[in-house]
Amino acid sequence: MEIVTKQMLDEFKHDLIKEIAQMSNHTSQPKKLLKNNDLMEYLGCSYSTIENLRNAGKIPYKKVMGTYYYSFEEVSRVFEQCIR
């Protein structure tokens, strides 16, 4: 069993953010509005991670008739700001 330290989690976070930023530099134009499944695929994370980010107010969203929508540009901007 390996003990996970705060430093290890911080390094993982920074690596993940860098990868997300690199993915956002692709030349193909993604959808402007993403649903949960689209965002899960884009970020490479689980639904519970998105739910936690949403509940913590870390990613902006709109809820329309029970469906969550995320602006690709706003989510990308949030993660780019984390890198800086």
CB 75 within 8 A of CB 59: yes
Q: Which two tokens stand for residue 68?
A: 């969550």
The full set of domains in the chain, from first to last, is: 6-83 (1.10.10)
Per-residue pLDDT of the chain (84 residues; tens, 9 = 90+): 788 898 988 888 888 888 877 776 654 555 689 999 999 998 889 999 999 999 999 999 999 999 999 999 898 888 888 776
Contacts of 17 (CB under 8 A, 6+ apart): 79, 82, 83
Single pTM value for the model: 0.59
- Rounded CA-CA distance 51/7 in Å is 24
CA distance 55 to 51: 6
